[in-house]
Structure 1
Amino acid sequence: MWRDHVWSDHNDVQESEAGHPMPPFDVPEGDPFGPHNLPYGVFTPAGADPSERRVGVRLGDQVLDAGAAALALGSPYASLLAQPTLNPLLAAGRTAWSDVRRALTAWVTVPSHQEVIEPLFHPLSSVTLHLPFEVADYVDFYSSEHHARNVGSIFRPDAADSLTPNWKHLPIGYHGRAGTVVVSGTDIVRPSGQRKPPGDQAPVFGPSVRLDIEAEVGFVVGVPSPMGRPVPLSEFREHVFGLCLLNDWSARDIQAWEYVPLGPFLGKSFATSVSAWITPLEALEAARVAPPERTHPLLPYLDDSGEEPGGYDLRISVALNGHVISEPPFSTMYWTAAQQLAHMTVNGAGLRTGDLYGSGTVSGPGERERGSLLELTWNGRDPLELPDGKRAFLEDGDVVTLSAWAPGPDGTRVGLGEVSGRIVAG
């Protein structure tokens, strides 16, 4: 396993012109991880026992031990931050989230706090990052119209409409496997399963030969809800703490043979990678945008015409072995995270702290805006030409890295933590 920051553009300790390390508060102007961002993660300091995990907040190329800072400054929220996971903070609710964020912002910007908390920073390059929260349930959606139309055109080229009849009426999704959600930097073992090549009379068993990515955004639930009570659109930000980048690895050949009639199973459940950093929704207020115009009337529980803008302007980049192959725009997603949450609970299913749901593959209208190799290579027909060779699907040793940023306040950029994974033979 390698760490989230290995491929980051900000993986070196910033130095002054004299060559001395800069104080952790002196974040360079324009850094996407400045005090306007402050994402949360869980880390182990260098030299500490691997089981010693602490809540950290990223500032530039430094990680602040948030629990130690809260204890040192007498914060009433110290008990939420002096934990080995984000779950207690997630469960505390929106008022606590706002209070803690306000306090953290003050701690890293007000000079009177600097002497106390400066020793509590750790260089990002020295720490080990962990899965930041305990995942309760995992749901994945299918909410990009461009992605859905591309997939429909690939597999149903003669259909009158490349979308299924239900697509414009509800956010399609499936229930995944929470136990295989892993933090960025975790090796992805090539899955094996049944696959039936076209024209063969019977299926064969073996490693997937059509291993793919899905560039997504994951939303992290904090406050639970009781069974039997749907969560309306208006309560999205009362329950969802923040978001992260997510790669829902997919074995297309296993999936194609197994998915009729009940949908994805082994082709999806072997691994889902998430960033080590969770960006709170409050850091993304400037990135809120209206979703694309709806072409079909929506049932009342999904009708967001009277709600605040539910989309997010996130600019995603997909790199394969260091070469950017796609830049999917999240602002084009037809279904919003609030609608996904409303649909996920409309049958009475309850939420739990640590629930994670993926947006579905993010794809835009352009050929260089597609969020999967399935689309980028048109199911392998048109392999990508890369400096290290052609790629239709992933080969052993390939490294996929998703990164992203969003517009922030006053012309700043809000960086999202990278999510990377390397394919290894099973």
Structure 2
Amino acid sequence: MPPFDVPEGDPFGPHNLPYGVFSPSGSTERRVGVRLGEHVLDAGAAAAALGSPHQALLARPTLNPLMAAGRATWSAVRRDITSWVTDPAHRAAVEPLFHPLAEVTLHLPFEVADYVDFYASEHHARNAGRIFRPNAEDSLTPNWKHLPIGYHGRAGTVIVSGTDVVRPSGQRKGPNDPAPVFGPSIRLDIEAEVGFVVGTPSELGRPVPLADFREHVFGLCLLNDWSARDLQAWEYVPLGPFLAKSFATSVSAWITPLEALEHARVAPPERTHPLHPYLDDSTPGLEPAGYDLHISVALNGHVVSEPPFSTMYWTAAQQLAHMTVNGASLRTGDLYGSGTVSGPAEHQRGSLLELSWNGRDPLELPDGKRTFLEDGDVVTLTAWAPGADGRRVGLGEVSGRVLAG
């Protein structure tokens, strides 16, 4: 099928146009690409062929220069690319610059500067509280409704979808073990998340207000923050996760620009506690900062969960505001994860920790029971969001296979 002839209803039609970085078949050269259906447009080559003023930003091996250019440029480039793939006048020049998606190599689309992971789903937080603190009066920690809880991760181990994940090793100690033992994790888990990618940097000492979220965030992607629950349980007191999280964080090869998700914006859940002004999203004039994303989690091809992102208590705008309220600066390529996305129903839980209730209730799958991940397991996250006229906007999948450590 010719690249312009995208089937009706394709979630990667011209209403979407996510960005990535690819190498053509037989080449190691990295190019900025834009996905249209099952093809990838060489954006730099198209810009050159059509005399675009944005050629220098698009003829690069990473998205960072484009992301750093700012929101006005992002909008201008998106308008141009939309014209290139929809206007028949450009067809002869642009059609030879498409590559079949199945024949290209996809790369990590941006250079990651810093990585922060949050804990923004009330359903996930309450489930975790009930599992680990079953006798607590409140399953949430006292600070949870007052600020978006987060921690700094390791940017150097953010990997692109399709990269294998080696089972991590570390120390673990069961409740009946006399001393910690060392070895591969036996409770390897997933965390179905959404990642937000910063484009425009900010100045050190100047917080980013809620209203400026879309001035700084270039787009979003699916994210799987692999977690070794047994290593985490032993190491996280008092400073939080370390080896249990730092071994791998998988992201999609495609970054969906925020402009493609205008029809997916929704109001977040009702606030139950008063918020300090820098987090107060009830302020008149603020745009709704939630996103109606429908996530699907598959284990070895079998769907085990469908977490709804619209239920997330803390929004990406609030996370960005909190991340910078102390004066911390943003850099182009900063990545922050939403934290595990879980909904109120059992089939909407975004981790095996919750789905199996910490191993108590194994999942019954066609290829056997699961509590936590086994070697050879493949986890794949996919998602879509509502677009204009009933169309769906597809988010690029994130997939990874577990290898023995």
The letter for the 1-side match of 2:377 is: D
Q: 1:127 aligns with which of 100, 104, 108?
A: 104
- Distance in structure 2 (CA, Å) of the matches to 1:135 and 1:97: 19
- Distance in structure 1 (CA, Å) of the matches to 2:204 and 2:176: 47
CA deviation profile, 1:217-249 (whole Å, cap 9, x unmatched) = 000000000110000001000000000000000
State the match for 2:146 in structure 1: 169
Q: 1:259 aligns with which of 236, 248, 254?
A: 236
TM-score (norm 1): 0.94
| Deviation at residue 23 of structure 1 after TM alignment | 1.4
Q: Do structure 1's residue 362 and structure 2's residue 345 form an aligned pair?
A: no
Q: Residue 362 of structure 1 aligns to a residue in which SS? A: coil
The letter for the 2-side match of 1:156 is: R
Q: Do structure 1's residue 27 and structure 2's residue 16 form an aligned pair?
A: no
CA deviation profile, 1:224-281 (whole Å, cap 9, x unmatched) = 0011000000100000000000000000000000000000110000000000000000
CA deviation profile, 1:326-371 (whole Å, cap 9, x unmatched) = 0000000000000000000001100000000000000000000000
The letter for the 2-side match of 1:294 is: R
- Distance in structure 1 (CA, Å) of the matches to 2:329 and 2:123: 30
The letter for the 1-side match of 2:107 is: H
- Distance in structure 2 (CA, Å) of the matches to 1:341 and 1:354: 14
- Distance in structure 2 (CA, Å) of the matches to 1:163 and 1:190: 30
- Distance in structure 1 (CA, Å) of the matches to 2:55 and 2:318: 34
Q: 2:318 aligns with which of 333, 339, 348?
A: 339
- Distance in structure 2 (CA, Å) of the matches to 1:198 and 1:165: 26
RMSD of aligned residue pairs (Cα, Å): 0.4
Q: Do structure 1's residue 280 and structure 2's residue 257 form an aligned pair?
A: yes
Q: Residue 419 of structure 1 aligns to a residue in which SS? A: strand
Q: Do structure 1's residue 54 and structure 2's residue 31 form an aligned pair?
A: yes
Matches within 5 A, 1:13-412: 22-48=1-27, 50=28, 52-306=29-283, 307-412=286-391
Q: Residue 219 of structure 1 aligns to a residue in which SS? A: strand
- Distance in structure 1 (CA, Å) of the matches to 2:347 and 2:171: 32
Q: Residue 71 of structure 1 aligns to a residue in which SS? A: helix
The letter for the 2-side match of 1:116 is: A
Q: Residue 268 of structure 1 aligns to a residue in which SS? A: helix
- Distance in structure 1 (CA, Å) of the matches to 2:110 and 2:214: 18
Structure 1 runs not aligned, ≥5 long: 1-21
Detail structure 1 runs of 4+ shifted over 3 Å in the superposition. Answer: none
Q: Residue 245 of structure 2 aligns to a residue in which SS? A: coil
Q: Residue 106 of structure 2 aligns to a residue in which SS? A: strand
Question: Percent of aligned positions with the same letter in both sequences?
Answer: 85
- Distance in structure 2 (CA, Å) of the matches to 1:396 and 1:415: 29
CA deviation profile, 1:34-79 (whole Å, cap 9, x unmatched) = 000000000000011x2x1000000000000000000100000000
Q: Residue 340 of structure 2 aligns to a residue in which SS? A: coil
- Distance in structure 1 (CA, Å) of the matches to 2:177 and 2:159: 35
CA deviation profile, 1:100-128 (whole Å, cap 9, x unmatched) = 00000000000000000100000000000
